[in-house]
Amino acid sequence: MKVAKFGGSSMATATQLQKVGNIIQEDPARKIIVVSAPGKRTPDDVKITDLLIQLGEAYINGESYEQCYERVIDRFREITEELSLDITLLEDIEQTIKSVIGQDTSSISKLDALKSIGEDSSAKILSAYLCSIGLAASYINPKDAGIIVSNDPGNAQILDDSFARIYNLREKVGILVIPGFFGYTEQGELMTFSRGGSDITGSIVAAGVKATLYENFTDVDSVYAVNPTIVANPKEIRTLTYKEMRELSYAGFSVFHDEALIPAFKEQIPVCIKNTNKPHLPGTNIVAEKKQDEKCVVGIASDTGFSSLYVSKYLMNREIGFGRKLLNILEDEGVSFEHAPSGIDDMSVIIRDSKLTKEKEANITKRIYDELHPDTIIMHRDLAMIMVVGEGLVSTVGVAQKATTALASANVNIEMINQGSSEVSMMFGIKAEDLNRSVESLYHVFFD
Ligand code: ASP
């Protein structure tokens, strides 16, 4: 039994839905289908989920939301009419949006309920379409599927009890179409996962039913060895391990949601990333273990938007608890850190800029001065991280030398190196302005 998840671009138009129908028809093992909300039809189009968020925010702020509402309905009308589906489907979507808006709930609950309508409607439309082409398909609500989540609106986490309930889906006959992106708390309240979370639903369901394969259909042929906007036509990755994928998606590889790896990884369900527009291509397989080939580097990931909080104090190494106290201050401010490279008298804490407001930064700096009495505190901004990723890389002779030579030949100063903390990656911190030429140079050294 396979679980196939189709992303926003695969659900964006009637033509795309027909391709989805063909893919499902081609393989009877594709029994459970998870879908996203209709995504962008063209690069400057707006995703249905974003329209629903705009609608909800306008309503909550007392502004006019009718235009957003019309745009959502028009998109669904276009799809249902082109597929000649029953008009009641559209009426049902209109009714659902109106009833969520009218409900006497908090703004946060309303927003999550509105956001979920994209996926929910998509699943109902696909299931009706599959029936219209002669397949026995039915829509399953995430509550009935057994997807029980924590009470964290917009960032729900799956609860362990869900998996045993989801296993029961194996008993159901026909093709099951489940909306991605949301689940329900034990108390029955709807909660969405983080953005892009339909991948997470797919992985949860694949783990729950113990699928033989989790196929993730998107709009790229495969996972590439490097960001194609930096290096033109990069090599495709055929097979990579869960650990390698995790490291790559941490630093900017957005093909597959990083949280989505966890359920598949726990149950060791292989994942295959494929293109809905070219389903005959092999795509990229993500597996627990792979044969070690002579090339130990599988990909180079990079991301900007980092700052480094540098703290130095003479004889820091002798001061028991210095690191803990420093990280405690960050914890108190609700700021997570990415890496913490340290020396004998200094420590840098790398933080994503998105986690740090001006106010939090001021509080953190003041408390470090007051409580830890350092000699220096400096906030280095505009940093980028590059991860050179591959199983076995850390134990292979000469990789670091190759990477640092590549950076030197691109005339890039390395601000930070972290090698060995992870078994599968080597991390370089550089100035964001040097990013593109660093990545190009590393790519040529490892892949040309
Ligand atoms: N529709 C949701 C989003 O845009 C979830 C998804 O597409 O996976 O974030």
Report in angstroms the alpha-carbon separations of 234 from 43, 114, 230, 444: 21, 39, 9, 10
8 A C-beta contact, residue 96 and residue 117:
yes
Closest ligand 1 atom to residue 181 Cα is 5
Q: What is the mean pLDDT of the chain?
A: 94
Among 174-183, 312-321, 422-431, where is mean pLDDT lowest? Answer: 422-431
- What number of other Cβ atoms are within 10 A of residue 419's Cβ? 16
DSSP state of 138: E
Q: Flag whether pLDDT at 145 surpasses 70.
A: yes
Secondary structure class of 183 (helix, strand, coil)? strand
Domains by residue range for the chain, with CATH? 2-287 (3.40.1160.10), 299-447 (3.30.2130.10)
Whole-angstrom distance, CA of residue 256 vs CA of residue 272: 10
Provide long-range contacts, Cβ within 8 A and 24+ apart, for 21-27: 21/126, 21/129, 21/130, 21/133, 21/135, 22/279, 23/217, 23/276, 23/279, 24/130, 24/135, 24/175, 25/133, 25/135, 26/279, 27/2
pLDDT of residue 291: 81
280 C-alpha vs ligand 1 centroid, how far in Å?
Answer: 25
Between 290 and 20, residue with greater pLDDT = 20
Amino acid in the structure at residue 203: S
- Residues linked to residue 30 through DSSP beta bridges, in sequence order: 2
Structure confidence by residue, pLDDT tens digits, 42-74: 999 999 999 999 999 999 999 999 999 999 999
**Could you tell me the pLDDT band of residue 251, with boundaries at 50, 70 and 90?**
confident
Q: Flag whether pLDDT at 255 surpasses 90.
A: no
Closest ligand 1 atom to residue 47 Cα is 4
8 A C-beta contact, residue 34 and residue 198:
yes
For residue 77, the surrounding DSSP H or E stretch is: helix 66-82
- What number of other Cβ atoms are within 10 A of residue 33's Cβ? 28
Whole-angstrom distance, CA of residue 448 vs CA of residue 327: 41
For the residues 74-103, what does the mean pLDDT come to? 95
Contacts of 321 (CB under 8 A, 6+ apart): none
Q: Flag whether pLDDT at 295 surpasses 80.
A: no
**Could you tell me the pLDDT band of residue 293, with boundaries at 50, 70 and 90?**
low
For the residues 364-375, what does the mean pLDDT come to? 97
Annotation: binding site: 5-8, 49, 119, 218-219, 224
For the residues 113-122, what does the mean pLDDT come to? 98
pLDDT of residue 21: 98
8 A C-beta contact, residue 48 and residue 72:
yes
Among 107-111, 215-219, 269-273, 332-336, where is mean pLDDT lowest? Answer: 107-111
Hey, which of 40, 119, 199, 219 would you mutate to test ligand 1's pocket, going by the most ligand atoms within 8 Å of its Cβ? 119
Tokens of 300: 């180079």
Q: Flag whether pLDDT at 294 surpasses 70.
A: no
Residues in the chain: 448
Closest ligand 1 atom to residue 8 Cα is 7
305 C-alpha vs ligand 1 centroid, how far in Å?
Answer: 23
Structure confidence by residue, pLDDT tens digits, 152-181: 999 999 999 999 999 999 999 999 999 999
Closest ligand 1 atom to residue 119 Cα is 1
For the residues 216-235, what does the mean pLDDT come to? 94
For the residues 337-358, what does the mean pLDDT come to? 93
Q: Flag whether pLDDT at 302 surpasses 90.
A: yes
Pocket of ligand 1 (CB under 6 A): 8, 36-37, 47, 49, 118, 180-181, 195-199
127 C-alpha vs ligand 1 centroid, how far in Å?
Answer: 19
Q: Flag whether pLDDT at 384 surpasses 70.
A: yes
The percent of residues above 70 in pLDDT, for the chain, comes to 100
Tokens of 419: 């090698």
Q: Flag whether pLDDT at 391 surpasses 80.
A: yes
The percent of residues above 90 in pLDDT, for the chain, comes to 88
**Using CA atoms in the order 349, 353, 358, 363, what is the torsion angle rounded to 10 degrees?**
-20
